[in-house]
Amino acid sequence: MKKRLVIYDETGDEPIEDIVFSGGYNITYTNLSDDGALRKIRKLDNGRFGDKHWIKNYLYRPIAERLVEKFPELKHVKPNLILFLEDVDFAPGSAKNLWIAQMKLANKQLSAMTGYQYILETRSYYIDSMQREQLIALLYHELRHIDKDGDIVKHDVEDWSNMVATLGIDWATTQATIQDLLSDDFNQWHELEPMAKQLNMFSGLRVVR
């Protein structure tokens, strides 16, 4: 369905803006009366972002919300503060950084303008060959990078130890079907033995940032 955004001045005579469109929208506005604070309406969940990225909020945020609802260790995460951007252009070639996904703090300017505090960047080159269970695990993995204070944290091992112990070390790349974290059948994480945590058994294998 198409939408129409019309902005009038107070008198309501002549429209200042009159836009008909069919996608989403973000609106930022200010009153000048409350320190000029920027107010934001974020409804732009699917669209091109720059040359090589696509906004994927419509696809990934609902999964993130279900993960936050299900897993107490993610309780503090707010998926509506994450901008999900997918690099639709990347191909490995001779690149050295072969990560599949990466959680970052949004820079201050983007944050001030849009209200997003985090950017989760994914690469469709890898995502497209993942099974849904792997995508869910990937989003779980990336959400864990946001700690209780809202900062970005590193893994406890080269991955999260509960994921390695439960889903296997190669959960992101295996061709076999892994467990669906959002299934009702999934109810408990396994943990690595303390010794296994100390071994550097993942050297050179970090594919998931």
For Zn ion, the closer CB: 133 or 142: 142
Q: Measuring CA to CA, which residue among 58, 51, 49, 126 is closest to residue 92? A: 126
Residue 205 Cβ vs Zn ion, minimum distance, rounded to whole Å: 12
Residue 142 Cβ vs Zn ion, minimum distance, rounded to whole Å: 7
For Zn ion, the closer CB: 40 or 209: 209
For Zn ion, the closer CB: 104 or 209: 209
Number of residues binding to Zn ion, judged by CB under 5 A: 1
For Zn ion, the closer CB: 22 or 97: 97
Q: Measuring CA to CA, which residue among 75, 63, 66 is closest to residue 146? A: 75
**Nearest residue to the partner Zn ion, using Cβ:** 209
Question: Could you say which residues in the range 180-209 bind Zn ion, by CB under 5 A?
Answer: 209
Q: Please say whether the beta carbons of 51 and 64 come within 8 A.
A: no
The phi, psi pair for 125, rounded to 5°, reads -50, -40
Task: Name the residue type at position 152.
Answer: I
Residue 102 Cβ vs Zn ion, minimum distance, rounded to whole Å: 8
Q: Where do the H-state alpha helices sit in the chain? A: 57-70, 108-114, 124-127, 132-143, 161-167, 194-198
Which stretches of the chain bind Zn ion, using CB under 5 A?
Answer: 209
